[in-house]
Amino acid sequence: MEPTGEMQQWIWFLLMGGIVGWLAGVIVKGRGFGIPGDVLVGVVGAIFGGWLSSVTGLYAYGSFAGFITALVGAVALVALTRLFRLAA
């Protein structure tokens, strides 16, 4: 049974979320968060990155631009959580 187009999009979205989350973990703290954590950080980071780009008015189109937006959002998310954790 072959995945439908919509299922393939979800698989691709989760795969990219995992890669973005892992990269954000490596950039900020030197290692990833494990597969579920990487996916969660990547997905939430993509949403946060999209919100940041809309607030700042910086828009770019295409797959690579979306990847960079998600990565920036995930790095910002991990950095903010580390900042709050250190302050507490």
Contact 41, 24 (CB under 8 A): yes
Q: Judge whether residue 3 has pLDDT over 80.
A: no
Residue percentage of the chain with pLDDT more than 70: 97
Bigger pLDDT: 1 vs 36: 36
The ranges assigned to domains in the chain are 15-87
Integer Cα distance of 31 and 27 in angstroms: 8
| pLDDT tens, residue by residue, 41-63 | 999 999 999 999 999 988 888 88
Q: What integer pLDDT is reported at residue 1 of this predicted model?
A: 60
